[in-house]
Structure 1
Amino acid sequence: MSMKPIARRLARRLVLALSIAAVPAWADPAPVAEHRPLAGLTAPGRVIVDRWGIAHVRAANVHDAFFLQGWNAARDRLWQIDLWRKRGLGLLSASLGGTYLDQDRAARLLLYRGDMRSEWATYPATAHAETEAFVAGINAYVGEVEAGREPLPREFTLTGSRPDHWQADDVLRIRSHALVSNLADEVERARLICKGGAPFLTLHRRIEPVHAIKVPAGLDPCDIPADVLDTYLLGTKGVAFAPGPLAEAGLPDAVWSGSLDRAGQQEGSNNWAIDAAHSATGRPILANDPHRAHGVPSLRYLVDMAAPGFHIAGAGEPALPGVSFGHNETAAWGLTIFPADQEDLYVYRTSPLHPGAYHYKGRWEPFRVVRETVAIKGGATREVELKFTRHGPVIHEDEGHAFGLRTVWNTPGAAGYFNATWMFEAKDWGDFDAAHAHWGTPPLNLVYADVKGVVGWRPSAFMPQRKGWDGLLPVPGDGRYEWDGMIPPTILPEVRNPASGFVASANAINLPPDWPSETRPISFVWSDPSRIDEITTRLSAKSRLTIEDMTALQTDTVSRLSRRAMVLFDGFESEDPDTRAALALLKGWDGNESADSAPAALFEIWQASHLGPVLAATVGTGDLVHALEDATPGAVIDALARNDSALGADPASIRRKVVDRSLAEAWRDAVKRLGPDPAHWRWGALHVAQWSPAIAPRVPVAERGGWAVGPAGVGGSGSTPMATWDGRNAYGVGGGASVRMVLDVGAWDNSLVINAPGQSGNPQDAHYRDLFPLWAAGRYVPFLWTDTAVTAAAERVIALEPAG
């Protein structure tokens, strides 16, 4: 037997063993503390940075813990969080110039504009003070930069800008970073119907549970213009730095985009929790790996923060106080998107005879018009006009119509991820259940585990009640289609301590069979079941699961979607030599999309680039062809496999034509990309993670290499538990799980984590990209908790004392 596989297994086990050791084998001599004064701190505190760049805040009180968290977030990610704030509040023009005016206007349309006193009252009583302390810490670091005691990040000099000071309200007013998205599906569906595609709706997107889609009375789907979402998308995307500020450059979506990939498999996540009886540790284990667009720096930031009577650790956006998922002393929680429908597009009738108004319930109701002054870099100002209806912002107007957004964003208590504040001091299932009831956005599957051995799942979100309509298409804004409040959280399903020994979610449908979807619709559009099918199969396969089993499952590259597709190929015969060659390569393949797999490369080329277009050309005509080209691969594969009537009068014949032609095209495409000999094909040769920050076009060419991350060829795809995908490049790796976390509940020092590419946003810092190779190899680092373990792993200690 070769020694290489053995060495790899030993190396993997060594990483785990080191993370579990009671006395860490990697302990180095303690670093000499750096002492410095800091205005705003009430008592001495420390920020301990471990050898993997993870910050451990140790404070004398809770105020100082959040203050130091904000200070430290700015220390590592000042440019990122400053840009997040300016983008979200519509302040880009003041720092970057007037070419961002349209984006500022769009962002301002999407701000929360309710009463802030009522807004703060929806969160825990401590949340306002904690957020005040957090932003004070950010401002303290900005003050240090302004005084020349800390360096100004390079991005500011490249853009000729300066960081701003924050207010606590800023954190809550910005809503556009939460993953709330149904609008694009509504528009796509309406335009498909307009083009004669009503028979193909279920072929285009999987509809679950089975449901007949009906055009709402009063809606003409052809009234929906192609550019109706331009303003909405502009207000939710990241900031680009190309010659034209809205051009695609680097990874502009990496700054909390909020936009979803339309393939239906992309923005998602995995989480699960196993109980003590099914755990080799004798304790519950909770695992979570949220999937979002990758960015440089990473979307999320790891932190461990403690004060007397308070201790949390986990990951979250660095511009938010606390953590979004992680654990406290007694309980752990994880999140995935629960695809509840939280948005509607309203179509209003307007008339030149009634300017400044829209038709509602038989009368002409005036738009609410807000005019705001936008500062422009250099001293100029511009006035922008923002229009609102009773439902929300007007995002588009044309002759005879206005189009408005209704979203739960506008509801008090719906700030993205902020309701994680309810979990910071949760002690048991009762506290978790109470926190679930408060959760607004984004809509989540929350899984839970605690030191008492309880594990469970609850879907958590503000979910509109729509009586008599389903939310799958735009609706007239004339008063016939109103929300009837929210679905009470107390009637939502739950699972606690199941007989299976685990709970798990991966964005696929998980409503109980008896949920009344026709009278209480939550969603009809869910992720493909590939990931959850593989996860539940693996979790059910062993009676005792280890920490190593959890990391192996998070990095599992088996595609159940590809296994479903094999039904189409079994016994298939073709006269086309390219089709026959493709069938020969795929025959017997187990669906493992490892980086070194040749069948995986062919399968992904087939499903991503050829299956949809060939189907569209076969069943569609005219404009319908283009509308069908981006049909969800899972929906197409399943429709072909069952000879669905949506394929036409002779579905078996359509199936043969589509499979034959698409496979032949995919084979020729693979030859062109990877060479004539499939023995040398590798999925990782196409599936490459190579990331640059959005600012890259402004960086001098000679310096750009120092800002880039990668390349690394990796396995997986959008249909594997180790989700790796790219909405702009079918074969690249632009999204997936930057953070993977496995928590040993109650023995927290045994926990493992990874955050790609690293913790720091400074290209000159050792922790800018140091975790990327580990992430690409499916490896982890310890996520430490106790002072003993943290001290042993310390690389840097910053001892801070109140100034003066």
Structure 2
Amino acid sequence: MPVASETLTVPGLDAPAEIRLDRHGIAHLRAGSRRDAFFVQGFNAARDRLWQLDLWRRRGLGLLAESFGPGYLAQDRAARSFVYRGDMEAEWAAYGAPDTRAVVEAFVAGLNAWIDLAGREPERLAPEFAATGTRPGRWEAADVVRVRSHALVRNAASEVARARVAARGALALDRYRKALAPPHDPVVPDGLAALPDDLLDLVRLATAGVGFGPERLAARRDEADRWCRVDEDGAVTAAPVPEAGEAPPEGSNNWAVGPGRTATGRPILASDPHRAYTLPSLRYVVHLTAPGLDVIGAGEPALPGISIGHNGHAAFSLTIAPLDQEDVTAYETHPDDPDLYRYGDGWERMRRVAERIPVRGGPDEPVSLAFTRHGPVIHADPAARRAFALRTVWSEPGTSAYLASLAYLDARSPEAFGAALRHWSAPSVNQVYADADGRIAWFVAGLAPRRPNWDGLMPVPGDGRYEWDGFHAADDLPRAIDPPRGFVATANEMNLPADYPAEARRLGFEWLEPWRAERIHAVLDGQDRHGLAESMALQGDDLSLPARRLAGHAAVLPPAPDIAAAQAVLAGFDGRLHEESGAALLAEIWWIHHLRPALLAHLAPDAATRALLAPGDAETLLPLLDAADPGLAPAERDALLVGTLAAAYRDCASRFGADDAAWAWGRFHHARFLHPLSRVNGGAFDVGPLPVGGSGASVMNTSYRPETGRLTVGASFRMVVDVGDWDASVFVNAPGQSGDPRSPHYADHAALWAGRGYRPMLYTREAVDAATERVIALRPG
């Protein structure tokens, strides 16, 4: 195919460089120096993802109202509570790479260079800017690191939920809301205060995505405070919403298989991070080449470098390790001055920060933000003499999410990789490593607070009795280098080694359900000669261990007319949630809409308590079906199974037709990538719907909204690396690499991804040149 080309003059570039776009959507960036490579990375990110980048910056810094009007003021106020406000010299020094600041400055200079070019040639701007009548803002290097509210930390929402369960005298039932591991009895802190219903509204608002609707865009200044709630889909709304539960868990899978267990005698590394499905995709794959630098892989478009990929010698990937990195603190405030809160034997004054938020079409909005010694005040009630703050690692230097990956881009051994991770703070992660020397490794990395006198599982008084005692040293966190088993694998499960002092160190007790990890380990343990095809198949594995258990229960139920048809559908069902499977549809509808709610109703007859436990933790609920429970006799259990299975069959017949042979999981379970402007332009930029298999319990993690079946969280990016034969590596990034709806790479991965397919992730110069479809030559201004 002919190669398209253009030449651009770019002020700020030190020497000629080029962007080579291959037919799979990857931008291969070649520059004469490391500094220019990161400059070109910023320039290219803005070329392909500027609308996404502009929203990222405006959301994180509280600048949405400047472009979109008063309907965004409440969200801006919330976001500003979580912007990093510490010492910037300490911030830049905290990431481990000595050139972190210079790298970020070069990256931002590249971003601004594209913004300047688009200012001179507006036709280069993505169409969303014209649709909203806006222009992108210019960046400062500090913007990249001051935004904290995009990171994944935890467990404030679960603390509050557990405290509410405890307040109803039902703490023993909380395990059915969220399992704890290793086994641990949560301790109710002394002086635990009653919690207001809207306690976490500001936190949810600060971390919500950016959405658009005609009403919000047209909001008047006197309506600004109405747009302050977040619904269960994560959208900001002015309408009343029920108390939101915890957001769907975001995790990942990764593994590295050593050369002794692979078909090629080379390691294989696989990665598929699970995040909220967005359009454009959260991840962006890029290849940076310069003297001393040759890395390819995925990062977030607003950050320089990559966090998942390889450097031509070592490959690396990450999953979330759910360490507890935040705490809700409660205060008694002074009767005469609500800015004074009790601390120790006296009163301490909140710090007030006055700012002005620019507002489109009107004057700036003055705001006053309050902070305690523990963090931003998230709720205050002077009449009740109480206030609450959120203590989070976000306030510490070096916690801009994923930026510490700059420190390991040059790593060439597990030891060097581990040394770089000493500077990793947020989010807390399982890092997996494999290199061309045949070595593999696993490291847990992240800031883990030391809590000397409590477990972090409920809010605590902020009067000085419950204080962090620094952070655990990197050497306190688990790791394994070249393990005898021959592979390492993680899936957000409780993976602390059996001899780890978990109760003493209290890194965290809330992990994701074990199903994905159990399946990955079973498959890898059973393969003597693992290959790329096997890794790709495992990433697309739609087996649900809970669904298989349910089918087993259905098969042994006593015959009954009400369930004969349902048992026939489930006969021989092996738990694989393929998109064309009718049995998968019935099994999921049975569990999500009928059996799980019935189990909760059995455990918690009180409706208010039951609502606090919903939707329920499969890890603790499913065992109730396996053995007689003191409150659930075998006959009672069978009656519950029969009644809910019959109801599930009728439910499916009502929704999907009386002919159960025509049922298919993909008719309900689907991906639709919604553009932020979907409600404004009638979904013109949306991608989908696409039928998709799997569920949140399968290795192919595709969590979904129970009411609609639309996917919410899962792996939009997948990568499998043949360590040493780099051009054999593959990836997919749904719905596409580009964020510009006019680009051929905006949605070209969507159907491939839904069908478990991949594209080559080419690395060598020869392979890249052969696949190039467009060259953008850059010349210094």
TM over 0.5: yes
**1:266, CA displacement in angstroms?**
3.8
The yes-or-no answer on 1:681 pairing with 2:663 is yes
1:90 partner letter: G
Does the 8 Å CA contact 2:15/2:780 hold for their aligned counterparts? Answer: yes
Query: Are residues 574 and 394 of structure 1, via their aligned partners in 2, closer, same or farther at CA, if it must alter by over 3 Å?
Result: farther
Partner of residue 8, structure 1: none
Cα distance in 1 for partners of 2:341, 2:32 equals 57
Worse-matched range after superposition: 673-682 or 151-160: 151-160
Helix, strand or coil: the match of 1:33? strand
The aligned counterpart of 1:547 is 532
Tell me, in whole angstroms, the C-alpha distance in 2 between the residues paired with 1:262 and 1:582. Answer: 32
Aligned-pair CA distance for 1:295:
1.1
1:227 and 2:209 aligned: no
3-state DSSP class of the match of 1:372? strand
SS at structure 2 position matched to 1:740? strand
Specify whether residues 265 and 294 from structure 1 end up closer, same or farther in structure 2 by C-alpha distance, changes over 3 A only.
closer
> Aligned partner of 2:311: which letter?
N
Matched residue, 1:476? 461
Which residue among 607, 615, 626 is the counterpart of 2:599? Answer: 615
Matches within 5 A, 1:180-195: 180-195=153-168
Q: How far did 1:280 drift?
A: 1.3
236-245 or 285-294, which deviates more: 236-245
Instruction: Tell me if the contact between 1:242 and 1:698 (Cα under 8 Å) persists in the aligned partners.
Output: yes
**RMSD of the TM alignment (CA)?**
2.0
- 1-side partners of 2:12 and 2:644: how far apart? 64
Residue 525 (str. 1) matches residue 510 (str. 2): yes
Q: Paired residue for 1:87, among 45, 59, 72?
A: 59
CA-CA distance at 1:249 after TM superposition? 9.9
Structure 1 residue 664: Cα displacement: 2.5
> Against the structure 1 CA distance between its residues 216 and 551, is the aligned structure 2 distance closer, same or farther, given a 3 Å change threshold?
same
Q: Which residue of 2 aligns with 1:15?
A: none
Give secondary structure in 1 for the equivalent of 2:470: strand
Cα distance in 2 between the residues matched to 1:635 and 1:322: 41
User: Which ranges of structure 1 fall in alignment gaps of 5 or more residues?
Assistant: 1-27, 255-260
Give the deviation of 1:729 after TM superposition.
4.5
- Say whether residues 1:449 and 2:422 are aligned partners: no
Cα gap change, 1:225 to 1:250, in 2 (>3 Å): closer
Written as runs of structure 1 = structure 2, the 5 A alignment for 1:409-448 is 409-448=394-433
C-alpha distance in 2, partners of 1:741/1:560? Answer: 24
* CA–CA separation in structure 1 for the residues paired with 2:636 and 2:615: 18
Question: Match for 1:615: what amino acid?
Answer: L
What's 2:223 paired with?
none
Offset at residue 587 of structure 1 (A):
3.4
Cα distance 1:739–1:696, how it changes in 2: closer, same or farther (>3 A)?
A: same
* Matching residue of 1:721: 699
Partner of 1:271: 254
Distance of 1:108 and 1:651 partners within structure 2: 54
Question: Which of 722, 731, 736 is the matching residue for 2:714?
Answer: 736
- Alignment counterpart, residue 214 of structure 1, candidates 141, 162, 187: 187
CA distance in 2, matches of 1:33, 1:44: 15
Paired residue for 1:329? 312
Distance 1:606 1:571, change over 3 A: same
Indicate the residue corresponding to 1:501 in structure 2: 486
**Alpha-carbon contact 2:668-2:708 (below 8 Å) kept:** no
Determine the structure 1 residue equivalent to 2:673: 691
**Corresponding position of 2:219:** none
Cα 1:729–1:739 shift into 2, 3 Å: farther
Instruction: Tell me, in whole angstroms, the C-alpha distance in 2 between the residues paired with 1:623 and 1:800.
Output: 63
Q: 1:494 and 1:120 mapped to 2: Cα distance?
A: 27
Q: 1:677 to 1:728 in 2, by over 3 A?
A: closer
Give the aligned partner of residue 125 of structure 2. 152
User: What is the total number of aligned residue pairs between the two structures?
Assistant: 759
CA drift at 1:52: 1.4
Shift of residue 640 of structure 1?
3.5
Aligned pairs for 1:696-707 (under 5 A) are 696-699=678-681, 701=682, 704-705=683-684, 707=685
Amino acid at match of 2:50: L
Matching of residues 563-578 of structure 1 within 5 Å: 563-566=548-551, 568-573=553-558, 575=560, 577-578=561-562
Could you say which residue in structure 2 is the equivalent of 1:196?
A: 169
For residue 749 of structure 1, what is the aligned residue in structure 2? Answer: 727
CA contact (8 A) 2:593 2:706 kept: no
- Displacement after TM superposition at 1:274 (Å): 0.5
2:35 maps to what in 1?
A: 63
Contact 1:242 1:249 survives alignment (8 Å)? no
Instruction: Classify 1:729/1:136 alpha carbon distance in 2 versus 1 (closer, same or farther; 3 Å).
Output: farther
SS in 1 for 2:296: strand
Residue in structure 2 matched with residue 371 of structure 1 by the alignment: 354
CA displacement, residues 506-541 of structure 1 (integer Å, 9 cap, x when unaligned): 001100112222221111111111111111111112
- Per-residue CA deviations over 1:456-496 (Å, capped at 9, x if unaligned) read 10111100111221111111111111111111111222111
2:599 matched to 1:627? no
Task: Name the CA shift for 1:291/1:731 in 2 (closer, same or farther; >3 Å).
Answer: same
Task: Using the TM superposition, give the Cα deviation of residue 698 of structure 1 relative to its aligned residue in structure 2, in angstroms.
Answer: 2.2
Is the CA contact (8 Å cut-off) linking 1:66 and 1:134 kept in structure 2?
Answer: yes
Which segments of structure 1 move beyond 6 Å, counting only runs of 4 or more? Answer: 247-254
Offset, 1:414: 1.1
Corresponding letter in the other structure for 2:430: N
1:272 and 1:264 map into 2 onto residues whose CA distance is 26
Tell whether the 8 Å contact from 1:89 to 1:111 is kept in structure 2 after alignment: yes
Give SS of 1:373's match: strand
SS of equivalent residue, structure 1 residue 599: helix
Q: How many angstroms does 1:83 deviate by?
A: 0.6
**Structure 2 counterparts to residues 643-662 of structure 1, below 5 A:** 643-644=628-629, 648=631, 650=632, 652=634, 655-662=637-644
CA offsets 1:137-188 (integer angstroms, 9 cap, x no match) = 0000000011126522221122221101101111110011111121111111
> How far apart are residue 433 of structure 1 and its match?
0.8
756-765 vs 240-249, which deviates more? Answer: 240-249
Taking the aligned partners of 1:243 and 1:150, their CA distance within structure 2 comes to 25
The question of whether the paired residues in 1 share the 8 Å contact of 2:669 and 2:704 is answered with no
Aligned equivalent of 1:402: 387
Superposition pairs for residues 94-105 of structure 1, below 5 Å?
94-105=66-77
Q: Partner letter of residue 522 of structure 1?
A: L
* Structure 1 residue identity aligned to 2:359: I
Of 362, 372, 381, 1:389 maps to 372
Superposed CA deviations along residues 396-426 of structure 1, whole A, max 9, x for unmatched, are: 1122211110011111111111111111111
8 Å Cα contact 2:431/2:445 also seen in 1: yes
Matching residue's letter, 1:479:
G
TM-score (norm: length of structure 1) = 0.91
> Is the contact made by 2:146 and 2:400 (CA closer than 8 Å) also made in structure 1?
yes
2:565 is matched with which residue: 558, 581, 585? 581
Q: 1:636 aligns with which of 590, 614, 621?
A: 621
User: How many angstroms apart in 2 are the aligned matches of 1:347 and 1:654?
Assistant: 44
Give the distance between the partners of 2:343 and 2:589, measured in 1 at CA.
49
Deviations 1:702-756 (A, max 9, x none): xx44x12112111100010111122474622232111100011122111100000
CA offset digits 1:21-79 (Å, max 9, x no partner): xxxxxxx45x1431221111111111000001110000011111111110000000000
Task: Give the one of 225, 228, 240 matched to 2:211.
Answer: 240
1:296-318 Cα deviation digits (max 9, x unpaired):
11111110010011111110110
**1:272-328: per-residue Cα shift (whole Å, max 9, x none)?**
000111111221110000001111111111100100111111101101111121111
Distance 1:34 1:743, change over 3 A: same
TM-score (norm 2): 0.94
Asked if the contact 1:268–1:337 (Cα under 8 Å) also holds between the matched residues in 2, the reply is: yes
Asked whether the equivalents of residues 573 and 580 of structure 1 are also in contact (C-alpha less than 8 Å), the reply is no
Say if 2:520 and 2:538, in contact at 8 Å, map to a contact too.
yes
CA distance in 2 between counterparts of 1:590 and 1:545 reads 23
